[in-house]
């Protein structure tokens, strides 16, 4: 009897399969016949759809679709695709018995018998929660993307572990000038200066961010085209859920204006501090001068009227001490800019050369003095005694910075300060200056020492070894001469001090003549060269000087106009046509003719004259095509300065 009721193997397998299907409660597993009518219904289907097996078996499965999908024929298309391809899969809205909807992952698999579709297996899962999570994530990502895209003052982008740029926001386009197509896929080191790349600063920044979580700094960065800006930079590392480094988030902000404002405030503070100290110092020096006048006068009188030799010696000793006090007072007056200057036409090269012996004696045998004096140095009016006194003070300071010996280089050169350079030096205007540079190979100064170097009585020397008035006297002389003093120094790198002195109207020959010199030859022709390519400018200037011309130079039209407006002899304006900063060579030439009707114009360009198609190139403006031979340039300049010229040169 037991054998009679025992199920056969096939029946047993079917029973087990049915138990398995009914045990699945997270998935709706049911059968459809070949027309889509529900043929079976598991516990998961009842839980998911809300229908009992009795309620739905025998009904078409389209009852589970939304009215919109039924009206669009979606159930039929699903069966048709499963019939043709063997499988249909999609996500979409489905209906429960109570009319509520849920987001479902639905799969329909075709069931074959003898290569004929006899029905379908239907699997449905409620993924509403997953969809809500994904939608929330999508919306969050969209909001974040809108946030990033809306930020235009900050450059926000991601880089991978090696520094390759992955994305690019509008703020990055605005800050750095590159489009996303131009930078995505390139290394972020393209934004660093050559010196920072040589120092491997980009790699160091990534290492720091990877090890500590963040790198933060300020420094120079490059825009497209090579222009620099001062940037605040933050690099944050990005880790995955396992803590592995996957890349970095990089934020850059252009803070050039803020930095300029901070520097301007610091410069104003320093200027106000020095002005206050100068006023106090000048008042004290004035009172001490009155006292010393009485002391020195009294000592002179005692020396004159006493017959006692011992008293004379004591008075003379006191007189010498009072004289040294008077020298200190003179230095204080120089710092406070209350000394009386007696400027006269001068050639600074001659003053330096004449002072050479005294300078070498002052610095001693362990320091060698080298000079690099510009042969075409502009003339000026300067107090010669105060200039040489300043030179001596600078040389002695340099000597003291080289206790074991070294080299002292004295250099002179002409320079035309543009507005930016003049503003950086503070309190002087743009225009032509002569620069006297004194460079030593000594110990150099720390930033703290450099900041106080020109303060009176400030010294790093041992007690009794210096008054701290030498550099303050040089500063006072420069400022009272309408010039400026610049200090560049780093510990272990030596010190360079530049004395900027403004040029007057006269030239060196006239100055020498007024000073009693023998120079009476005619002034050589003067050429103003305007060229934005530094290499071309340098070689052109050197070549023309070697040909005997007086040469002024400018890197753009704005600086050239500053020179043209000054009372400086200029016979020829030699300018490139394609120029930066809003004014080209033709515009400059027309403005030069307005300012100086007699100036000769020589235009140069890599384009032919016909290819420029510019109105305003007058017939009396000579054109020189690039590249040109310097022999051709020399010839056309000779023609222009002697009055025999044509309007086009080869």
Where does the pLDDT of residue 200 fall: very low under 50, low under 70, confident under 90, or very high at 90 and above? very high
CATH topology of domain 524-649: Rossmann fold (3.40.50)
Is 367:405 a contact under the CB 8 Å cutoff? yes
Name the strands in the sheet holding 87-95, side by side, starting at the edge strand that comes first in the sequence.
Answer: 27-33, 116-126, 101-113, 87-95
User: Is pLDDT larger for residue 115 or for residue 97?
Assistant: 97
Spatial separation of the C-alpha atoms in residues 117 and 19, rounded to whole Å: 25
Give the mean pLDDT of 22-45. Answer: 83
Question: Per mean pLDDT, which range of 91-95, 111-115, 197-201, 305-309 is the poorest?
Answer: 305-309
Over residues 197-222, mean pLDDT: 91
Domain range 151-254, its CATH number among 3.30.450.20, 1.20.1250.20, 3.40.190.290, 3.10.20.90: 3.30.450.20
pLDDT at 511: 37
Please list, in sequence order, all residues whose beta carbon lies within 8 angstroms of the beta carbon of residue 467, skipping any fewer than 6 positions away.
328, 331, 457, 459
Measured N-to-C along each axis, helices 384-400 and 470-480 cross at an angle, to the nearest 10 degrees, of 150
Q: Which one has a higher pLDDT value, 606 or 109? A: 109
Q: What is the pLDDT of residue 78?
A: 93
Same fold, 151-254 and 524-649: no
Q: How many helices (H) and strands (E) does the chain have?
A: 25, 21
Q: Quick: pLDDT tens for 379-403.
A: 888 877 778 778 887 888 888 888 8
CB-based contacts of 190, cutoff 8 Å, min separation 6:
183, 222
Give pLDDT tens digits for 66-82: 999 999 999 999 999 99
**CB contact at 8 A, 469 and 519:** no
Instruction: Give tens-digit pLDDT for 347-374.
Output: 888 888 887 877 888 788 888 889 999 9
Cross-strand bridge partners of residue 392? none
pLDDT band per the 50, 70, 90 thresholds, residue 171 = confident
For residue 648, what are its two tokens?
């086009």
Provide the 10 A C-beta neighbour count for residue 118. Answer: 11
Per-residue pLDDT reduced to its tens digit, 215-254: 999 888 898 888 888 888 999 998 988 889 999 988 888 8
**Class level of CATH domain 344-508:** alpha beta
Three-state DSSP class for residue 139: helix
* In the predicted structure, residue 59 carries a pLDDT above the cut 80: yes
In the predicted model, what is the mean pLDDT of the chain? 78
More confident residue, 612 or 328: 328
Instruction: Kindly tell me if the per-residue pLDDT of 324 is higher than 70.
Output: no
Give pTM, 2 decimals. 0.37
State the residue for tokens 């929660």.
129
Alpha helix (H) residue ranges in 415-533: 419-425, 447-452, 470-480, 508-514
User: What is the DSSP-derived secondary structure letter of residue 65?
Assistant: B
- The 10s digit of each residue's pLDDT in 426-448 is 778 888 899 999 899 888 888 77
Long-range contacts of 197-200 (CB under 8 A, 24+ apart): none
Contacts of 577 (CB under 8 A, 6+ apart): 584, 585, 586, 603, 604, 605, 607, 612, 614
Lowest average pLDDT, out of 192-196, 510-514, 587-591, goes to 510-514
Which pLDDT score is estimated for 464? Answer: 40
Instruction: Decide which of 3.40.50.11540, 3.30.450.20, 3.30.930.10, 3.40.50.2000 is the CATH code for 2-130.
Output: 3.30.450.20
pLDDT tens, residue by residue, 100-139 = 999 999 999 999 988 888 999 998 988 888 887 777 666 6
Domain layout of the chain by residue ranges: 2-130, 151-254, 267-335, 344-508, 524-649
Give the pLDDT score at 515.
Answer: 36
């Amino acid at each position: 009897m037991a054998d009679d009721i025992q199920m056969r193997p096939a029946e047993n397998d079917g029973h087990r399969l049915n138990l398995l299907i009914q045990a699945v409660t997270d998935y709706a597993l049911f059968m459809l016949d070949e027309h889509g009518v529900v043929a079976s219904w598991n516990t998961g289907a009842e839980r998911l759809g809300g229908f009992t097996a009795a309620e739905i078996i025998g009904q078409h499965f389209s009852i589970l679709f939304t009215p919109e999908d039924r009206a669009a024929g979606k159930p039929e298309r699903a069966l048709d695709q499963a019939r043709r391809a063997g499988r249909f899969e999609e996500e979409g809205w489905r209906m429960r018995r109570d009319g509520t909807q849920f987001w479902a992952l639905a799969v329909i698999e075709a069931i074959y018998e003898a290569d004929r579709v006899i029905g379908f297996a239907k699997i449905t899962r409620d993924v509403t929660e997953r969809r809500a999570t994904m939608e929330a994530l999508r919306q969050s990502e969209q909001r974040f993307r809108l946030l990033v895209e809306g930020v235009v003052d900050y450059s926000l982008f991601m880089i991978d572990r090696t520094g390759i740029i992955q994305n690019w926001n509008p703020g990055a386009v605005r800050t750095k000038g590159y489009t996303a197509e131009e930078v995505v896929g390139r290394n972020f080191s393209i934004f660093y200066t050559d010196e920072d790349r040589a120092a491997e600063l980009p790699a160091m920044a990534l290492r720091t961010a990877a090890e500590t979580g963040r790198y933060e700094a300020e420094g120079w960065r490059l825009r497209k085209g090579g222009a620099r800006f001062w940037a605040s930079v933050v690099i944050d590392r990005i880790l995955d859920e396992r803590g592995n480094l996957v890349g970095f988030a990089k934020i850059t902000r252009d803070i050039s204006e803020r930095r300029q404002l901070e520097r301007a405030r610091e410069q104003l503070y320093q200027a106000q501090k020095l002005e206050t100290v100068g006023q106090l110092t000048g008042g004290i020096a004035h009172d001490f001068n009155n006292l010393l006048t009485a002391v020195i006068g009294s000592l002179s009188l005692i020396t004159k009227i006493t017959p006692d030799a011992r008293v004379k010696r004591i008075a003379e000793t006191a007189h010498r001490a009072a004289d040294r006090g008077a020298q200190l007072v003179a230095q204080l007056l120089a710092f406070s800019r209350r000394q009386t200057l007696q400027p006269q036409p001068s050639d600074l090269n001659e003053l330096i050369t004449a002072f050479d012996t005294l300078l070498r004696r002052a610095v001693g045998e362990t320091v060698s003095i080298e000079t690099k004096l510009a042969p075409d140095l502009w003339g000026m009016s300067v107090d010669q005694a105060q200039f040489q006194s300043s030179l001596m003070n600078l040389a002695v300071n340099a000597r003291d910075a080289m206790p074991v010996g070294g080299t002292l280089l004295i250099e002179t050169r002409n320079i035309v300060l543009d507005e930016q350079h003049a503003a950086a030096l503070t309190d002087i205007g743009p225009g032509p200056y002569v620069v006297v540079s004194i460079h030593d190979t000594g110990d150099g100064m720390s930033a703290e020492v450099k900041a106080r170097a020109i303060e009176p009585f400030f010294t790093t020397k041992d007690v009794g070894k210096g008054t701290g008035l030498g550099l303050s006297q040089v500063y006072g002389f420069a400022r009272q001469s309408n010039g400026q003093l610049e200090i560049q120094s780093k510990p272990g790198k030596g010190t360079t001090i530049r004395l900027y002195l403004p040029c007057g109207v006269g030239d060196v020959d006239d100055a020498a003549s007024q000073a009693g010199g023998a120079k009476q030859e005619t002034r050589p022709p003067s050429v103003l060269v305007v060229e934005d390519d530094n290499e071309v400018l340098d070689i052109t200037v050197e070549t023309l000087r070697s040909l005997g011309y007086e040469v002024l130079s400018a890197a753009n039209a704005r600086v050239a106009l500053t020179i043209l407006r000054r009372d400086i002899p200029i016979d020829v304006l030699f300018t490139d046509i394609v120029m930066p900063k809003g004014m080209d060579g033709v515009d400059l030439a027309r403005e030069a003719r307005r300012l100086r009707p007699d100036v000769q114009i020589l235009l140069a360009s890599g384009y032919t004259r016909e290819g420029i198609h510019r109105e305003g190139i007058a017939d009396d403006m000579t054109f020189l095509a690039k590249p040109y031979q310097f022999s051709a340039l020399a010839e056309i300049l000779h023609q222009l300065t002697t009055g025999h010229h044509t309007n086009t040169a080869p």
